[in-house]
Structure 1
Amino acid sequence: MNIIIEIIKCFIFVRIVWVDIKRKIIPEKSVITLLVIGLILALQSHSLEKYYLGICAYSMPMIVLYILEDYVNKTLIGFGDIKLMMGIGGLLKYTGIENVMNFYIILYSFSGIVAFLFLFLKKWKKYEYIPFAPFIVISYVIFEIFFYKVF
């Protein structure tokens, strides 16, 4: 059963990345599917509370960033990125603030380095739309491989 869920997650992540790059939007059905998968896994492991707290904890820094957009009058992230973080938070579940911080350190470091390289190599223009979903998904994979399974 778990291998089937992992394959489904991979297809969903590929779809999210592809659609975000091509259409600049994160599909609602994919995010809802991630939330349902997280719910199923939480019910299997009797950790519904950690599922809910994971949704809240992993999406909260993005919500704060979304609110700050009003004060700087610039679009930083879209609400689809927040919904994607809710789905990922449900998959990861809340296991402590350290893991949330580690995830965001990976996310911002990785996306900053890649964005800097692409800007330096003139692949992106300074104010061009940069899809954030690929960075979120790759950070999730890195986090699951190196951090999440250890605890």
Structure 2
Amino acid sequence: MLGFCLGLIKYVVLTRICFIDFRKKIIKDRDLMILLVIGILLGIERNNFEKVYLGWCAFSMPLLILYIVEDYFKKELIGFGDVKLMIVIGGLLRYRDFRQVLFFYQNLYFLSAVIVVLVLLYWKIRGKRGEYVPFAPYIVLNYLLFEKFFM
């Protein structure tokens, strides 16, 4: 019963993150803290908290490196909210091996690129050049697909 309640809260919060990121282009820390607590509780319940901790570290590292590199190029590529979201998503996915992390990021970048290209080319929705594209919905969608099909 606890797993069902936590899962329901998790999906509601993930949906909320997507909508807020589309509208306001921000990810609220309150939502991230809820997901963080859910990850901790699920890790304790399943007796594998160390995999939750390793998930926080391993899944967030590529986006954290990208966030640091963007300072060098003086161009904003992602926001720090995306990095924090990836930290909590990593805790929810729990680390198994490096192939899991690599496969997650391959799917994430492929999925986000395909969706953006489809929207821009086929529906001819054009924004200003260099306009911010929310990345959180792609992270959440990839997490949901990864959780459903690869875990």
Identify the residue that residue 131 of structure 1 maps to in structure 2.
Answer: 134
Cα distance in 2 for residues equivalent to 1:71 and 1:29: 30
Give a deviation string over 1:19-74, Cα, whole Å, max 9, x none: 10111000101101111000001111111111111000000000010011022221
Structure 1 Cα separation of the partners of residues 30 and 64 of structure 2: 21
Q: Structure 2 length as normaliser, TM-score?
A: 0.94
2:150 to 135, 147, 150: 147
1:43-122 alignment to 2 at 5 Å? Answer: 43-120=44-121, 121-122=123-124
- The RMSD of aligned alpha carbons is 1.0
Alignment length (residue pairs): 148
Q: Which runs of 5+ in 2 are unaligned?
A: none
Give the distance between the partners of 2:118 and 2:72, measured in 1 at CA. 28
Deviation at 1:86, TM superposition (A): 0.6
Cα distance, 1:124 vs structure 2: 3.6
User: What is the Cα deviation at residue 137 of structure 1?
Assistant: 0.3
Mapped to 2, the partners of 1:2 and 1:124 lie a distance apart of 42
The one-letter amino acid of 2:66's match is: L
1:102 aligned partner, one-letter code? F
Partner of 1:41: 42
- For structure 1, the residue ranges without an aligned partner over 5 or more in a row are none
The runs of 4+ residues in structure 1 deviating greater than 6 Å are none
Look up the match of 2:17. 16
Q: Structure 1: how far apart are the matches of 2:126 and 2:95?
A: 35
Quote the Cα distance in structure 1 between the aligned partners of 2:83 and 2:32.
10
Distance 1:128 1:58 in 2: 26
Q: Secondary structure at the match of 1:127?
A: coil
